[in-house]
Amino acid sequence: MSEAVITRLSRMARWEPDARGRMTRAALDLYAEQGFEQTTTAQIAERAGVTERTYFRHFADKREVLFDGGHELEAAVAATIAAAPDATDPLDVVGEAVASAVAVLEERREFAARRAAVVAATPRLQERELLKLAGLRDAAAAALRGRGVPEPDASMVAEAGVGAFRVGFEAWIASGQARPVADEVRSALAALRARARG
Amino acid sequence: MSEAVITRLSRMARWEPDARGRMTRAALDLYAEQGFEQTTTAQIAERAGVTERTYFRHFADKREVLFDGGHELEAAVAATIAAAPDATDPLDVVGEAVASAVAVLEERREFAARRAAVVAATPRLQERELLKLAGLRDAAAAALRGRGVPEPDASMVAEAGVGAFRVGFEAWIASGQARPVADEVRSALAALRARARG
DNA sequence: CCCAGTGATGTCAGTTGCTGACATCACTCA
DNA sequence: TGAGTGATGTCAGCAACTGACATCACTGGG
């Protein structure tokens, strides 16, 4: 290979736009094709046209590439909870905040479904997902306390809300996205309400 | 060092009883002393008087050493749920199963508290703990379905029960183990019940 | 009493995830 | 046009794991 070609290729690779997006797509594709454990970060970097070092500058570890933007979700839910009218039932506040947040996944149906399949097949990715959900749960609980809900009520209502998020999302995926996600979430929470009346 | 001494030492190290227990104590001590990330598996093995390879024969990874016996807990909860009298309220079934399971921690108060502190300070250990709780949740949901509870009710009731487990345990630790853990768990679940009545 | 079998351990080499230090490149703006 | 800035590349190195093979302690039958 001539030096000119090498120079040209390296220039393209260096500043091609959307390196993050390329890495995310490369990772999801590779994880789906050959499994998470069988994929190396070097492979992801190569397919995205960057070096391994660049990958680790964008993402903390091999898993984090599938969990970008989790912080925005958390902030959105907390803000929605905080902005709800006073005297609204806390369980409804959390339920609606979660339902509206999960609805944004509807715009990326295909991506969300592929990602969910990979996560479901990989314990180490489930761990990370659970940690993100725990962050969401803590943010929700803090927002509820900010509304005057005491403990342990705030924590338990937050647990229920995030639980509905998870159960509703899984039902949405399992059903081939038949009903809107938000409805699945509301159904899950309604079921708990009914059971809690015992 | 003479060859005789080497032989004697290696004999002691090789078959000294309770290698697992020694490794667990060594790991918890080191994690508490200098932090999880600053501790190497080689240090744990050395303090326990074994090689690193032996450590990895007993525990799948650096974290698993603090999560031994999680499977027994899971099985106990599932069995208790399955054995509950028919027609008992599902939320009560899960709540009591979890309350009785968590009570065994009372026998190891000190260990439980030290372990909880280390986990609370280490995101990577929290991930593993959340994965174990997810396993408990799934086992509880499956046991409920075995009792005829349909979805999404079974999953949501299981979420609530495991949520009460977590919230109750945290309250128990935070309060310096003032009240029995089981009572903390029951209080958490009662709070959710009250809030669900809206 | 000995010896083959079994299971736990030790040794060693190798891969992969991840990090720090430093150089290089494309683009910006004075 | 040249210094500054931010993203990238290069390289060396540590720590978490894993597979293959040797070795040791204990067991049971002969």
Q: What pLDDT, on a 0 to 100 scale, did the predictor assign at position A14? A: 55
Q: What pLDDT, on a 0 to 100 scale, did the predictor assign at position B17? A: 83
**Which of the given ranges, A102-106, B67-71, B184-188, has the highest pLDDT on average?**
B184-188
B78, B141 Cβ separation under 8 angstroms: no
**A135 to chain B nearest CA, in Å?**
11
Which candidate from A90, A134, A194 shows the least CB-CB separation from B126? A134
Average pLDDT, chain A: 92
Residue in this structure with the two tokens 């909860």, named with its chain if needed: B77
Q: What pLDDT, on a 0 to 100 scale, did the predictor assign at position A7? A: 34
pLDDT of B9 strictly over 50: no
Q: Is the CB of B80 under 7 A from strand D?
A: no
B56, B23 Cβ separation under 8 angstroms: no
SS3 content of chain A, % helix, strand, coil (to 5): 80, 0, 20
- What type of residue sits at position B26? A
Q: Is the CB of A23 under 7 A from strand D?
A: no
Residue ranges of A 53-112 with Cβ closer than 8 A to chain B: 89-92
Q: What pLDDT, on a 0 to 100 scale, did the predictor assign at position B8? A: 33
Residues in chain B within 8 Å Cβ distance of A133:
130
pLDDT of B198 strictly over 80: no
Please write the tens of the pLDDT for every residue from B141-195: 999 999 999 999 999 999 999 999 999 999 999 999 999 999 999 999 999 999 9
**A185 to chain B nearest CA, in Å?**
10
Share of chain A above pLDDT 70, in %: 93
Q: What pLDDT, on a 0 to 100 scale, did the predictor assign at position A196? A: 95
B156, A163 Cβ separation under 8 angstroms: yes
Those residues whose C-beta lies under 8 Å from the C-beta of residue B7, and which sit 6 or more positions away, are: none
Please write the tens of the pLDDT for every residue from B109-151: 999 999 999 999 999 999 999 999 999 999 999 999 999 999 9
CA B108 → C1' D23, Å? 38
CA distance B144 to B142: 5
Regarding predicted confidence, which is higher, A69 or B151?
Answer: B151
Mutate to test the interface with B, among A149, A156, A179, A192 (most CBs of B within 10 A): A156
Which candidate from B153, B189, B195 shows the least CB-CB separation from A191? B153
Those residues whose C-beta lies under 8 Å from the C-beta of residue B152, and which sit 6 or more positions away, are: A167, A168, A171, A187, A188, A191
pLDDT of A108 strictly over 60: yes
Q: What pLDDT, on a 0 to 100 scale, did the predictor assign at position B14? A: 54
Confidence at A17, pLDDT banded by 50, 70, 90:
confident
CB atoms within 10 A of CB A7: 10
Q: What pLDDT, on a 0 to 100 scale, did the predictor assign at position B70? A: 84
CA A57 → C1' D6, Å? 13
Which candidate from B91, B163, B187 shows the least CB-CB separation from A195? B91
Which pTM value belongs to this model? 0.92
Task: Note the strand C nucleotides within 7 A of protein beta carbons.
Answer: 8-12, 16-21, 25-27
Rounded mean pLDDT, B71-99: 96
